[in-house]
Amino acid sequence: MSLKVGELNSNLPQGATDNIAEAWTNHKFDMKLVNPANKRKFDVIVVGTGLAGSSAAATMAELGYNVKVFTYNDSPRRAHSIAAQGGINGAKNYQNDGDSVHRLFYDTVKGGDFRSREANVHRLAEVSVDIIDQATAQGVPFARDYGGLLDNRSFGGAQVSRTFYARGQTGQQLLLGAYSALMRQVGAGTVELHTRTEMLDLVVHDGAARGIVVRDLVTGEVTSHSAHAVVLATGGYGNVYYLSTNAMMCNVTAAWRAHRRGALFANPCYTQIHPTCIPSSDEFQSKLTLMSESLRNDGRIWVPDAFEESRSAADVPESDRDYYLERKYPAFGNLVPRDVASRNAKTVVDQGKGVGPMKNGVYLDFADAIGRLGEDSIREKYGNLFDMYERITGEDPYKQPMRIYPATHYTMGGLWVDYELQSNVPGLFCVGEANFSDHGANRLGASALMQGLADGYFVLPYTIGNYLADQLGDAPMNSNDAAFGAVEAEVQDRTNRWLATNGTKSVDYYHRELGKLVWNYIGMERDENGLEKAISEIPALKAEYYKNVRVLGSGESLNQSLEKAGRVADFFELAELKARDALAREESCGGHFRVEHQDAEGEADRDDENFQHVAAWEWTGEDNVQNRHKEELEFNYVKPSKRSYK
């Protein structure tokens, strides 16, 4: 089945099947180059200023490209990358515990349940070592051991310590490094920074991306911007669930608008549910809070053996406790991958062993670690996380166990990209969590920061030149062209429609109702009956939303209800696609768990014969079922096997 725009070609490098260790090096040599003087002749748009966006923009500007950067935040520093807590992986083997580039490659492919491209993952493992050097040179204050060397800790899905960290605020410190590099280029005049500006559409003309249409969130003005290439670094779509660990402004709109213009959307059903989050406290909560996976290094997860236990944690003796992860997975214990830990937490809570006022959590207990290492040592490692937990819950985790429960955290699906991070739409690139490329069906902890900075600092600056080299001598399309005007008119029409609906219920009401459907039917567990219900009920709720949503205010000023109206409309369309993708994938793998496909022990049952592929969906028009394309996956170095962490 041919595509309307571009082609589905992974563009894997020569040698990827027989010499993967040299594939990226050889590919860099084979790619076309743009010399320093010619780089100044090219304009590049970057949307998003998280780790992937800021690092990409700063690096391309340093190389000489003219870069325009857009963010809906008031500062690049407010990008959601700052919320990452626990650390960043790097195959440095500083602990001399058996780590290597190949082991990080192996762990990532296995952790993703053999649903990622080997070549992309190996490249990620290769450049992980350079990221640590880059960040250290920028002054990122990674933790150090007694001798002054960079320290490491363990994360889920690995039996080595390869995670570099800055207490519980690693994402913030890394973003400050990337932000500093970005603002240096703003000062040098090579980056033009647009804050409080949201991308609302992509302009595609003659089969290639030519620019974007944006709205100024303060004045409401809609304008067009053209460039030789567009880079989306806009994060994931976890807020389709309404309750998630994502910042409340996080959305799918930029990626979804590109999808509607022809970019394929890959594996939307792959969602990561993080096992260590603070449980919700009431039905009207609008945000969930992450507690770093790093806490599983020293915290032990347990529930009471008894159903509906009424005793406090301190009154439950060891003999009446079930350390269920240590019992079921002795080789990895509490550091099993996130999808495994989350499903097991759901199982024990569903059995009636949940803890807390709403019986909707499990315990994460530090009593043993405090007894072994001392409170001061635990405070030094996790002090800011413990303080945050106490401020939110009113409970002192030094004196009693934390209560945790899984919550939506990360999305492995996203825009389909090839080996060079280019979508099927020529000239449209996608980096970081916004693309699908590296994590398969489940991301390992501390790998999101690694991918964002790998894409931005070390991959895209090479690969974008391979595309731009053929554009030398061509000016970017004029933003006054009729093609831009037509898209601007569509954006304005959508804005006017929301303001004119004049219904009775708020955007947040419909977002919450949508989130309930998505969580109930496309959450930690899915089945055919629930997915069929989702495919039926989501469009019905969407139709009501379009008829009955109420957006107050005007389009000529700051109007957060208007901003959210468009974002939630895109979530409705995405949610239906998630359900269709989950229904079509008749297997369990990673974060996609179909209850019909599990083994006798309740573990995921993959179907490699029929589903060892990427599902890439093509937009076919409003209210039409999208076309499902496949990119077959080959494994030549990490042979698919049943994941075991026992």
AA letter at 453 = L
252-265: b (≥16 Cβ within 10 Å) or e: bbbbbbbbbbbbbb
Q: Give the number of C-alpha atoms closer than 13 A to the C-alpha of residue 99, restricted to the C-beta side.
A: 25
Contacting residues for 196 by C-beta, under 8 A, at least 6 apart: 71, 72, 73, 74, 216, 217, 218
Q: Give the number of C-alpha atoms closer than 13 A to the C-alpha of residue 180, restricted to the C-beta side.
A: 12
Distance (Å) of CA 49 to CA 78, 137, 194: 8, 20, 10
**Structure-block tokens of residue 587:** 């297997």
Q: CA nearest 618: which of 164, 335, 264, 136?
A: 264
Q: With contact defined as beta carbons under 8 Å apart, do 40 and 190 qualify?
A: no
338 part of the active site = yes
Distance (Å) of CA 33 to CA 27, 380, 464: 12, 47, 9
Q: With contact defined as beta carbons under 8 Å apart, do 54 and 177 qualify?
A: no
- ∠ CA 210-116-263, nearest 5°, is 20
Residue labelled with tokens 């992980």: 128
CA 446 – CA 162 distance, rounded (Å): 9
Q: Which of 115, 162, 210, 338 is catalytic?
A: 338
Q: CA nearest 172: which of 87, 89, 82, 245?
A: 82
**Structure-block tokens of residue 597:** 């496909």
Residues carrying an active site annotation = 338
